[in-house]
Copies of this chain bind each other. A is one copy, B any other.
Amino acid sequence: MQRILSTQLAQHIGETVTVAGWIHRRRLLKSVAFLIVRDAEGLSQVVVEEPATRTQLDELTEESVVEVTATVTRNEQAPGGVELTGPSIRVLSAVDVPLPFELHRPALSASLPTQLDHAALALRHPSRRAALQVAAAATAGFRTALSEQRFVEIQTPKIVGSSTESGASVFGIDYFGRPAYLAQSPQFYKQLMVGVFERVFEVGPVFRAEPSDTARHLAQYTSLDAEMGFVTDHRDVMAALTRTLSVMIATVAARTGVATPKVLPEIPAVSFAEALRIAGAADGEEDLAPAHERALGEWALREHDSEFLYVTGYPMRKRPFYTHPDPASPAYSNGFDLLFRGLEIVTGGQRLHRYEDYVAALAAAGEPLEPYRGYLDGFRYGMPPHGGWAIGLERFVARLLGIANVREATAFPRDLHRITP
């Protein structure tokens, strides 16, 4: 018999159907037992009165996988207004060890490390599933928005021959006996691909060996990257990002029902100098501290009713060497950050596009040219003014759902201490 989903039961009242899923909970009363079966879409309540089935149920434990064939019966008290009566139960996979924690309570009581140790089980809890569903919806929205704006999806190497983007730490690899590194970002590749398709995007893993054991660092995270050519400056990039962000948020709302913030057609933007004033920071500061970002988030909500805020024109000294300076004020950049509820979740900007500017920028940074030679090729052969951004998916999801630790916004986190499961 074809299995149906829990959400389809109401369409089959009076019929005999088959549902299948995990034993979410059993309630074993004296004269009757209730079996709650969980599938991908929800819960089904099964009423067990027949003695042989009751005996079978007594021996089963939570999370065992069962197939239940029964009659769909109306019952206003049951979840969804229906329950299954007169069941026969076939066990597909029995659990015969104690569970490390219970899944049927509203919140998981286990500590985060315990949840992560048993991720395959913990992720079944609605609270943990939700974050991954939001991530999937945000990613789908990202791709939809960019495809509509003529961006072409690319896949770039995660193994690179030289360790660039100095300052941040990289993971070393043994590549057929030669040293190589895990890519910290698709930055140079997406820039080169602007020369091919003008507009490109990539969704993929990036790797950071920063030994930071904080609630917002992961050794592997998912980066939502985009890069676009023929821009006037960073403001064209911000306009494309705003449009993309609004589709991401709308897709999350439509697919998951999660409460989402509004995205204004024009997200407010303040210059770095204004940002320092608003946050009450000293005039000479060269970067925004977390407390400054929080203050800016509160200000944007109060003054503009926006949970998003662009900060533009960060000092060049704090941006990577490929950043394009502001032509009117070369100590400042055509770069921006996007704050979401007072936390930076996107970094972007206009990049250098002339070979000679790269040579000068690397020289000014005291960096050798050689490790960059493969990447700089495209710039010798004609590259338009361009810019782009990178969104950290897990941070975005955590911020959207109010999750304190980014490890809860991914299925199997990797950090300084954790490499399993």
Contact = CB atoms under 8 A, between A and B. Distances in A.
Interface string A378-421: 10111111000000010000000000000000111010100111
A219 B177 CA distance: 14
Interface residues on A, range: 35 or more
A146 to B, nearest CB: 11
A130 to B, nearest CB: 11
A140 B133 contact: no
B381 A196 contact: no
A217 interface: no
B158 A158 contact: yes
Contacts of A414: 157, 159
Interface string A212-233: 0000000110100000001000
A340 interface: no
Contacts of A123: 193, 195-196
A421 B377 contact: yes
Integer count of this chain's copies in the complex:
2
A382 B93 contact: yes
Interface in A331-361: 353-354
A156 B161 CA distance: 24
Interface in A120-178: 120-121, 123-124, 129, 132-133, 135-136, 139-140, 143, 147, 150, 152-162, 171-176, 178
Contacts of A421: 192, 374-375, 377
Given A136-B154, A175-B419, A419-B159, A97 B196 contact: no
Interface in A253-289: none
Contacts of A143: 140, 143
Given A93-B353, A173-B182, A192-B421, 18 more contacts: A39-B198, A40-B199, A65-B384, A93-B384, A95-B380, A118-B377, A120-B192, A124-B196, A139-B153, A143-B143, A154-B411, A157-B412, A160-B419, A172-B173, A175-B219, A176-B209, A205-B205, A375-B421
21 contacts: A63-B381, A65-B383, A92-B384, A97-B381, A99-B381, A120-B192, A121-B381, A123-B196, A124-B196, A132-B196, A136-B153, A140-B143, A155-B222, A157-B412, A158-B220, A159-B419, A162-B420, A172-B174, A173-B174, A180-B419, A193-B411
Minimum-distance CB pairs A-B, first 10: A374-B421, A120-B378, A40-B198, A161-B419, A63-B382, A374-B420, A120-B192, A136-B153, A123-B196, A172-B174
